[in-house]
Amino acid sequence: MKFGYARVSTRSQKHDLQFDALLKEGVEQGNIYADVSSGAKAERKGLDQLLSKLREGDTVVVWKLDRIARSLSHLAKLVGLATKKWTIR
């Protein structure tokens, strides 16, 4: 299954560009998870929900890597999970 993740840093920003890109890549709207959260914050409910849904062979699509990862070490942790669960493109 194909999932998407979008994040904006403040409530004054909109997810629209990210959602449009995810939909264009074939992610169904119901499979897009999103957060409004600073990249520095560790708690992201949308990302946690997405991670809990993933199964072997699933694909996660993001507009840009900085939307899903807070830092290089966080990205490395997610990639570690990806090798077990996700298809990386």
Radius of gyration of the chain (CA): 12
Which of these is catalytic: 9, 12, 37, 52?
A: 9
Active site residue 12: no
pLDDT for 29 equals: 96
- pTM for the model stands at 0.81
How is domain 2-87 classified at the CATH fold level?
Rossmann fold (3.40.50)
Is pLDDT at 12 greater than 70 in this prediction?
yes
pLDDT for 85 equals: 60
- Going from N- to C-terminal start, the domains of the chain cover 2-87
Tens-digit pLDDT profile for residues 24-41: 999 999 999 999 987 566
Bigger pLDDT: 54 vs 3: 3
Q: Across all residues in the chain, what is the average pLDDT?
A: 85
Is pLDDT at 89 greater than 70 in this prediction?
no
Give residue 31's Cα distance to chain centre.
10
pLDDT for 86 equals: 55
With helix as H, strand as E and coil as C, how does 36-48 read? Answer: ECCCCCCCCHHHH
pLDDT for 76 equals: 85
